Structures are given as structure tokens and as C-alpha cells.
Structure 1
Amino acid sequence: MDLVLNFEQRRRGNDTRRLVKLSLPGLPDWVAKEGIYFDIVGAVRVPEPLVLDGFLFCFLQFAMERAKRFVIKGPVSARALRNARIYQEAWHKWLPEKYRPVDIVVEKIVPEWRFAFRRRGRAISAFSGGVDATFTALRHAHRATGSGAHNLDAVLMVHGFDVLIENDDGFDKLVQRTAPLLSELGLELNIIRTNARVGYLQNWEETFGAHAACALHQFSHRYDYGLLGSSEPYSHMVNARGSTPSTDYLLSGDDLEIVHEGAGFSRTEKVALISGHPVARKTVKVCWEGKEQHTNCGECEKCIRTRLNFIAVGDRNPPCFDNNFQSDSIKGINVRSKIILTELETIAEYMAARGINADWVSELHAKIAEGRSLFP
């Protein structure tokens, strides 16, 4: 069976809508009828994309899971097609029963030389307000990496990923929450609204990096680089995950290069940089389980884990949380994945390397032992 992708661009009020229509037997009715859109908010003079590289990557794993061929009714860059082959090889090795390589058929292959005149050297970064995104913004906006820094002058927030598409109020409040940091750093805010996550057409934990890359590709007419903040560091890499340093670079095409940024640092090391920035330690937002999607509940697994990151660097009660830390909250952490276990281990390693001891360290080690029994 063929998964067929058709693309169109239209103006929708004050936004530019980029719409994908997918065709495949068995698709949910809403996908076939409504399509999947990426609205570039507040922009009406957006040129049509030269290539559909972002959409190729966004739906490639869906094609691998459901189809035998992936047919794209539009142009794709030569580099994106080469990368897609390697990307498929990686996912097939990681999850061979789920993802099978497919043939990719495109309307036109656009050669590399066609993009030479578009080089500008500018970068845009995916930005959720979280630790990874905030760290990336701080590093590159201030050129803290020296000559190796990207020329970052803009960020992209996506309404429909961490904040549900129907939660307009929550997304508006998240924008307001993070605005002081972006203003201080001099970073332009761009927004995309998308229904790509509605109905969980794809496994989010395995495809969120490809979705974020697709959103960044919508700005290839202005930028050369799209930065994705890393999750696990190189020392604790976890494969078969939506974003890893081993595959994120493969989400690049000739029109936009995707950069996996920050894997040389653990989450606690990233928080050390954030903790030294008064605005960032107030605006950072990590929670996804709380009722209010624009703030940190302070009680869920990720909030507690992030609080441990801050405490490890000597910042017990940062203003991004509304309540004080309670050591017994560690007992409530549900180590339900290898990712969570890995994050707890990196906190313990950070503490041990610096000879830091605290009243909660024994609780942390007990939780790590519990996790290792589940994920040996």
C-alpha cells in the first residue's frame, strides 16, 4: 500500500496554513477529511517551500509502520532523501518488528546547488520553555560557546505539542511566562499551531523530534539551521527515542540543517547554567502532567526530578516553582521508563563527582535501585 502525501499552502486569516493531505486505506476520517496543518501564526507573506523535506520526516515513521511506499506529491531535496534512507535504517534496527524501510517516491528531486544562493548563516531554535530549550537559548544567544556558537536570533514555539491545541489560554500564558527571557536575550518569537499530535496518529515518544524538525523546516526560507535541544547526554544515550544525537542530524535537508544541541551536558549541568540566570530560573517550565499547562505543578515526576537538578547545583527553591521542596516527595517518583532512570542516575553522578551529600541523597539512591530492578 502507498502512503500518498499532497501539500497545499493557503492564507487563513492572519496566518499562513501549510496543509498536508494523507491518503492511505484505514486512515482515521478526520485525517483524510481535514488534513494535518502547520499554521505559521501572524505571517501572511510566506513563500511556498522549495521542498517538502520537513513533511517527509514528519510522516516517514508512519509510512514505515503502515505502508510499502511513501509517495510525496511535491519536491524533496537530494540531501533529505539520502538522510531518510539512513534514518530508516536506524529505526528498523531499533524496532524491526514495528518499522520497516519503505521506498520513497517524490515528484521532483531538487539538487544541492539550487540552495547555494540561500545561505544566510542564521539559526532558529525549537523552544518550549523547558530546561533543554532554555539552555540552548542561553548558550547561543550569548555566544557562550565562543566561535562554535550558532547565529541564533529566533525561537519557535509550537501550539499543539506540549500544550494541547484546544488550550488557547494555556498557550497564551506560556508565551507570557517566557516572554521576559526571550526579550532579555533579544530572540524573536515565532509560533506554529498544528493538529499533528491530535488523535496520536504516531507514537509521540518515538516521533516528537521529527515533528519538531518539521515545524522548524517551515522557516527554511529565513534560516539555515534549526536547533533541537538535547535530552540525554552522550554519556547516557538512549536509542529508539524521538530525539537522539545519533539520528536528529538526519532530519536535515539541503534547505535547512537540523542540529542536535547540548548533548555534551547532563540535565543537571544545564540547570547549573540556568540557575545563574535570574530571569531563566523564573521562567523555565518543565511540567506536562499538571492541570495548568503553562506552569509547574511542583509535584509530578518531572517537576520533582527538575527540583533535584536545581538542588544539586545549590538552588533549593528556584522561583519557577510556587512551593518549597519536600524531601519525601522523591518516594513518589514513578520510574516508569529507562529515560527517567537515566536522568536520576545523572543527578547522583553529579553529586558524587562533587562530593556533595544531602538529606535526600539516600532517597535518590533507593529510587535508582528500584528503577534498575525494572530496567536492568
Structure 2
Amino acid sequence: MPPSTTALTVSTVFNQNEIKLQTDCFEIDFKVQGREDFTGISNTFALWICLPIAMSMNRDLHILGQVSPTALANAKKLVEIWFSWRPGLFHFINVTAEHVQETTYAQQQGELMLYSGGADSTYALMTHYLQHGNKVAALTIHGMDYDAQDAVRFDALMTKTRPLRELAINEHYTITSNAAQTMARYGIRGDCGHGFQLFGSLFLFEDRYRSGSIAADCTRQIEMLISPWGTSSLTNPLFASSQFHINTLDLELGRPEKLAALSENEMALGCVSFCKKRDVRPENCGVCSKCSRSKAMFLAETGKIPDMFLDNSFSEDMLLDIDLSNRGERGSAMDLLSSAARNNRLSLFPQLTARLCASPPRKTWLARQRARWAKRIKKLNKG
């Protein structure tokens, strides 16, 4: 199906620390804490933020202002990738810009790390910077794990993580944005859209830093199981210009290994937050599916559960609600059982092992694509 004849044209308005992306059908706002002057940066960040929405709307994308030619070429590769991964959601579109030109920045130094307070970014902050005696600049996004309107709980997260941040971070920026909510209106859930928002936000600082970094969600082998996913070793490097690129940290380490390392640091355990219950965050309830999996991972990797949950009890029955048809939860379950097998503790999880062995295998990627294309062709024939 060809794209709409009317391109989605994006203009950018900078007003000190507030930035607005405007189109004929939506506005996306950014409020930055820690920086007030964005004079001189390109509009490449707008390209990353609006690309998935344009693909979902089946409208060509046109960015007003200056955009990196390297980034523009990479955006076209991302269109091909996501169209092949999710043809029912994302369409093949053209991407253009008003001024295609690389911006040269003279004051770039170091890197800017994405920090959420979760297990992956906490581990990365500790091992790559704190343990080496180096401090790093960090960026935290408000509007993803915490609703943009929920200032109380986001402030509580900042309070909870302050001890680690004061030791490991020299400049800390936060961005409050409705980008995730806007993407959701067009059918783009967090599993697909989070990379576009995270990396687009990093590009707001392309004039200050040479690179951005993100902690990997999982190992490469688990990536293949949960794909398509919004951040991965395949797509992360494509969010790049000739002046700024993305580093992915700890792709070879699974979540259980990271949790085991955190368990050896009482301060880090006091700062980390991964609970799924929004009304409990940033504390860890101990009973939601993510807290339960994390307890099991601690147990599989170290043989014990640290005292960091509101409810520190555990039985394998707490893992029964893991939805093995969900690719993300299945990936976490496999990560858990791989750790248990590696550490001779597989006998601790007989029910989960049996469920994984008994559950029907997922359709192959090719089978899923054939099914999607068959539905699309049937729909077009009816039309």
C-alpha cells in the first residue's frame, strides 16, 4: 500500500529548556532539566522521535530544519527493518529533510548515559564508571516508566537513587516528555517505540557529547527470542550521525548475572527499582511478576534473595503467572532457567521448566511474516 500523498511535516520550536515538535495531527513536548540553551543543534532528534509515528500512519516523513545525511540514510534502513519485522503496524515510507547537512560541533566531550534506576542501567553505572573511579553524565527520561504527570513518584525515584548518582554521575539531566503517550495513540507500544524515544532524547545533547550509551536489556541470544524489540544490537548502531553515535553496554551479560553483581553492593541494592506496580514504584513490591522473576534470578545465580523487597518471601508458585506466549516474559524465563542450569540450581524451578518444555513452540519469524502478509493480502482483496 503506497504512503499517503501528504507528508507528515515536523517543525521544531525551541524555547529555552522547552522544546516542541509540531505536526498537523500531534505535538510532542520536551522539558529538559539541567540545560536551557539548545541553540545550534540539528533537528536530527526530531527524525528519530517522529519516524515510528509516520510509519504507523503510512505517511512520508519530512523534517524541517537541518538533519544529518548519515542519520537520514540510517533512518531509511530503520524503515526497512521495522517494515519487515512488523508489516501490520509499520509501513514503508520515504524520509526527507529541508536541509540535509552534517553539523560540526567543537565542544563534544565524553558520553551521555541513559539511566533509569533499573537493574541494567544501575549495573552499567557501577561497573563502567563507579568501580573505575570515573564519573559520567547521565540522562533520565520522565514519561516512560513513570507517567509524565506523575511528578511525585518520579521525584521519589530521584530521592531513592541519589546515593548512587552522587557517587557516579557528574552531570544529570532529566527530560519530561509526552512522546510515549503520543506514540501509544498511534498503536506504538513501548516494546517497539522505546528505542526511538530514548535515542531521540540523547540526540538533544549531540553538541555536548560524542556518544550516548544504553545498558542492554538482555544478551544477544535472548534478543533473538524476544525480537522485534525497540532496542537491540542490530538497530541501536543505526541511531547515528557522523558526529554522535550510540554504545550498547553489556550485551554478553544476562539479567541474573547483573543482579548477582548488584547483590554484593548494599548501596546499589538500595537504589535499584524494577517493580511493575505503578502505585508502589520506586519501591520493589516483591509480588508482581517482575519482582518475582528478579527474586528467582537472585536465587538461581547466588542461592539467596537479598532483603530489598517490601515482601521478601518466595515460592516457585509466584512464577506461575509468567505469560510464556509473551516474547518478553518468555525471554526472561529462559534467562532465569539458563542461570539456574549454569549454577546447578535447576531443581529449584521444576514447574517453570515443565511449562517451558510443554508449551508449544512459537511460530518461526518466517511463519509469522507469512501469516501477516496473508492477512494483508486478504484485506486488500476485499477492498
The answer to whether TM tops 0.5 is: yes
Q: 1:373 aligns with which of 355, 360, 377?
A: 360
Counterpart of 1:82 (choices 63, 67, 73) is 73
Distance 2:51 2:360 in 1: 35
Alignment of 1:280-359 (within 5 A): 280-314=268-302, 316-327=304-315, 328-357=317-346
The answer as to whether partners of 1:153 and 1:187 remain within 8 angstroms in 2 is: yes
Q: Distance in 1 between matches of 2:76 and 2:21?
A: 22
Q: 1:49 and 1:309, CA in 2 relative to 1: closer, same or farther beyond 3 A?
A: farther
Which of 28, 35, 58 in structure 2 is aligned with 1:36? 28
1:367 Cα deviation after fit: 4.0
Distance 1:342 1:79, change over 3 A: same
Q: Quote the offset at 1:83 in angstroms.
A: 0.9
Residue matched to 1:213: 199
Contact 1:284 1:320 (8 Å CA) reproduced: no
Aligned structure 1 segments of 4 or more residues deviating by more than 4 angstroms: none
CA contact (8 A) 1:3 1:67 kept: no
Distance of aligned partners of 1:152 and 1:184 in 2 relative to their CA distance in 1, 3 Å threshold: closer
Match of 2:210 among 219, 224, 228: 224
- Change in Cα spacing, 1:74 to 1:67, as seen in structure 2 (3 Å) is farther
Aligned to 1:161: 144
Task: Give the one of 67, 71, 91 matched to 1:100.
Answer: 91
Equivalences for 1:189-208 in 2 at 5 Å? 189-199=172-182, 200-201=184-185, 202-208=188-194
3-state SS, counterpart of residue 197 of structure 1? helix
Structure 2 residue identity aligned to 1:9: F
Distance 2:59 2:319 in 1: 46
Report the alpha carbon displacement of residue 153 of structure 1 after superposing the two structures with TM. Answer: 0.9
The two structures have a TM-score, normalised by structure 2, of 0.85
Contact 2:108 2:207 in 1 (8 A): no
How well do the aligned residues superpose, as a CA RMSD in angstroms? 2.2
Report deviation, 1:253.
2.0
Paired with 1:152 and 1:104, the residues of 2 have a C-alpha distance of: 38
- Answering whether residue 263 of structure 2 is matched by residue 275 of structure 1, we say yes
Q: For 1:211, what is the secondary structure of its paired residue?
A: helix
Asked if the contact 1:233/1:263 (under 8 Å) is kept, the reply is yes
Partner of 1:89, secondary structure, is: helix
* 8 Å contact from structure 2 (residues 64, 97) kept in 1: yes
Shift of 1:143: 6.2
Secondary structure at the counterpart of residue 23 of structure 2: strand
SS at match of 1:306: helix
CA distance in 2, matches of 1:335, 1:169: 34
Aligned length: 352
Structure 1 pair 182–58 and aligned structure 2 pair: CA distance change class (3 A): same
**For each residue in 1:74-106, what CA deviation from the matched residue of structure 2 results, as whole angstroms up to 9, or x when unmatched?**
110111012111111111111223322221221
For residues 32 and 202 of structure 2, the distance between their equivalents in structure 1, rounded to whole angstroms, comes to: 11
Q: Which runs of 5+ in 1 are unaligned?
A: none
Q: Write out per-residue CA displacement over residues 115-143 of structure 1, whole angstroms, 9 at most, x where no aligned residue.
A: 263442x1111111111111221222146
Structure 2 CA distance for aligned equivalents of residues 277 and 54 of structure 1: 36
Give, in angstroms, the shift of residue 53 of structure 1: 1.4
Q: Could you tell me which residue of structure 1 aligns to residue 378 of structure 2? A: none
Q: How many angstroms apart in 1 are the aligned matches of 2:61 and 2:213? A: 27
43, 48, 62: which is aligned to 1:71?
Answer: 62
Question: Residue 333 of structure 2 aligns to which amino acid in structure 1?
Answer: L
1:175 is matched with: 158
Secondary structure of the corresponding residue to residue 332 of structure 1: coil
**Conserved 8 A contact 2:12-2:22:** yes
Q: Which amino acid in 1 is paired with 2:23?
A: L
**By how many angstroms is 1:37 displaced?**
0.9
- For 1:116 and 1:198, the matched residues in 2 are separated by 32
Partner of residue 58, structure 1: 49
Alignment partner, residue 21 of structure 2: 20
The one of 22, 32, 38 equivalent to 1:47 is 38
Deviation string, structure 1 residues 154-176 (Cα, Å, up to 9, x no partner): 11111111101111110000000
Letter aligned with residue 125 of structure 1: M
Residue 279 of structure 1: SS of its match in structure 2? helix
Is there any run of 5+ residues in structure 2 with no aligned partner, and where?
1-5, 364-383
